[in-house]
Amino acid sequence: MRSLAVIAVIALGALGAFAACGGPAGTTITNVIIVDGTGLPAVTGSVRFVGDTIVAVGHADPVRGDTVIDGHGMVLAPGFIDTHSHHGGGLLTSPEALSMVSQGITTIVGGNDGSHPYPLAAAMDSLRAAGPSVNVAYYAGHGTIRSAVMGDDFARKATPREVDSMAVLLQHELDAGALGLSSGLEYDPGIYSDRAEVLALAKVAAAAGSRYASHIRSEDRWFWDAIDEIITIGREAKLPVQVSHIKLGMIPLWGRADSLVALLDAARASGVDITADIYPYTYWSSTLTVLFPRRDFANRAEANTVLREIARPEGLLIGHFEANPAYAGRTVAEISRLRKEDPASTLMGLIRESLDWEKAHPGRSGESVVATGMDEPDIVRLLQWNQSNICSDGSEDGAHPRGFGAFPRVLARYVRAERALTLEDAIHKMTALSAAHVGITKRGTIAPGRYADLVLLDPAAVADRATPAEPHLASTGIVRVWVNGQTVWEDGATRRVRAGRMLTRENR
């Protein structure tokens, strides 16, 4: 990778800081291939920004006092927007945001899967004080709000009065700046809600001019019913709806991506603004318990179904396992051999042991799993859908490599190697389309008046390095990253710069 060089920094004092045209000094990035995020063909030129704002694009001449950076013919793109991120918690202790800026992410959207830091205003104040290097926005989580109302008595339908109380809390979080409502309908406590409850809250979000993103009720057994649910919510609540980390997560569903796209396109044609985000891996990460939607963890027939149709024993890789840390990094197939038992017994036993551990350690997670459950041709087809944007669904300390590698992986594998996407299409799906899908208005494109969130990358070298065995390896080929006009990543290292901002519906 060629190191950047600042080829001219001309300090002219108080008077010289202004150009002949009367404008203040800024930064001009010359000799770059500009991929502006819109999906239009790339152009060669330069980009100039002053402070946090882009002021000229294309043939942007530097003025006296500018810092001039030679881009050496590399690609300049808008900063990547991660519409489904779990990185936010780590920013309090590691605000330099290594896992994000090293892959070109300049904005993350948290509060997904029905869970957000509560109350939101206080959480945003804490994060603002920490001074993260990336911009941060949040959804308000249905599960968090449901827990606040129902407490531990959540394994049932909510009463009308409880739903009304949830609506009040949701409105409060929307007023605090949440971009919209999220749900995690495969997880406790959201799994126990019915359609009417979620629809009622979606209508609150709609009245506030916001949107709804959902980890749908099933990504496997009852997938089509779950898709029908989110389409129905979009139609009846009259708000934009987004399928979180869209996937066909069950072997009998493999090969049906065309049918799914046709269904989504038909919904859009009927007036439902439905979209999706997606990460570029055939394996997901969660907990073992999510494999049992009826929470019947001792049901052997169900365990056998899981291991036959959802994820095979050799495809269930334990991320962490507090009851026996030696199991981390091993598959259920390997552990079953160690324990001299069949895989179904191992799966049920691991869940039982982890739940016992969690009872003894309230508030802590006892296990995680990385599960191979999707088919590569389906991933390609869903990546290519014109309403799918790229996300990571990752975190800085997770066992899944998506937390460090999702965005470069798209560029390396699906653009450069497989040519499933053009460079312009891929960057559009990481920037302008992402911004549109979450309601961010002044980021995601390179244009005058937009914030100077920018990524300089080497298209021939950009690549993910993170793997399930080493999930925290930083990617290569991301040369320099700016957030609000300030450099946060350069020459393979973070800069401790408090450049990020909290994005709300009033400031986005």
Distance CA 334, CA 326 (A): 12
Please list the ranges in the chain whose pLDDT falls under 70: 1-22
Distance CA 138, CA 326 (A): 35
List the structure tokens of 477: 């080929």
Name every residue whose Cβ is closer than 8 Å to that of residue 19 and which is 6 or more positions away in sequence: 25, 63, 64, 65
Same domain, 56 and 112: no
Encode burial over 422-433: b for 16+ CB neighbours within 10 A, e otherwise. Answer: ebbbbbbbbbbb
Distance CA 391, CA 107 (A): 11
Determine how many CB atoms are found less than 10 A away from the CB of residue 469: 10
Same domain, 166 and 267: yes
The answer to the question of residue 242 being in a domain is: yes
Same domain, 253 and 120: yes
Number of domains composing the chain: 3
Same domain, 95 and 158: yes
User: Locate tokens 């925290």: which residue?
Assistant: 472
Peptide bond preceding 189 in cis form (omega within 30 of 0): yes
What CATH number does residue 26 fall under? 2.30.40.10
What average pLDDT does the chain have?
Answer: 95
The answer to the question of residue 455 being in a domain is: yes
What's the domain range around 348?
284-371
Distance CA 133, CA 377 (A): 36
Same domain, 84 and 151: yes
What DSSP character marks residue 474?
A: P
Asked if residues 286 and 373 have their Cβ atoms less than 8 Å apart, the reply is no
The answer to the question of residue 506 being in a domain is: no
What's the burial of 333, exposed, middle or buried (CB within 10 Å: 0-12/13-18/19+)?
Answer: middle
Pairing of strands 367-372, 316-321: antiparallel
Asked if residues 107 and 79 have their Cβ atoms less than 8 Å apart, the reply is yes
Predicted TM-score of the model (pTM): 0.95
What's the burial of 370, exposed, middle or buried (CB within 10 Å: 0-12/13-18/19+)?
Answer: buried
Q: E-strand spans in 40-155?
A: 43-50, 53-58, 67-70, 75-78, 80-82, 105-110, 135-138, 140-141
Asked if residues 461 and 82 have their Cβ atoms less than 8 Å apart, the reply is no
What CATH number does residue 418 fall under? 3.20.20.140
Distance CA 311, CA 497 (A): 42
User: Locate tokens 């780590």: which residue?
Assistant: 90
Same domain, 35 and 98: no
Asked if residues 200 and 146 have their Cβ atoms less than 8 Å apart, the reply is no
Same domain, 278 and 196: yes
Same domain, 241 and 115: yes
Taking the alpha carbons at both ends of the chain, their separation in whole angstroms is: 34
What pLDDT, in 10s, does the model give residues 107-146?
Answer: 999 999 999 999 999 999 999 999 999 999 999 999 999 9
- Name the residue type at position 468: P
Out of 341, 371, 401, a domain closes at 371
The answer to the question of residue 408 being in a domain is: yes
Q: Which residues pair with 389 in a beta bridge?
A: 277
Same domain, 257 and 120: yes
For residue 462, give the 3-state DSSP assignment.
Answer: coil
Element (DSSP H or E) covering residue 367: strand 367-372
**What is the reported pLDDT for 410?**
98
Question: For residue 481, how many C-alpha atoms fall within 13 Å in the half-sphere facing its CB?
Answer: 32
The answer to the question of residue 465 being in a domain is: no
At 13, give phi and psi (nearest 5°).
Answer: 80, -170
The answer to the question of residue 440 being in a domain is: no
Peptide bond preceding 362 in cis form (omega within 30 of 0): no
The answer to the question of residue 155 being in a domain is: yes
List the structure tokens of 437: 């899908």
Same domain, 255 and 216: yes
Q: Nearest CA to 407 among 377, 428, 386?
A: 428
Q: Nearest CA to 260 among 388, 402, 155, 417?
A: 388
Rg over CA atoms, the chain: 23
Same domain, 402 and 326: no
- Name the residue type at position 367: E
- Per DSSP, the residues of 283-307 read EEEE-GGGG-TT--TT-HHHHHHII
The answer to the question of residue 355 being in a domain is: yes
What DSSP character marks residue 32?
A: E
Q: Nearest CA to 379 among 256, 220, 252, 226?
A: 256
Same domain, 136 and 172: yes
Q: Angle CA(364)–CA(365)–CA(369) in degrees, nearest 5?
A: 170
Q: Nearest CA to 397 among 317, 326, 319?
A: 319
For residue 379, give the 3-state DSSP assignment.
Answer: helix
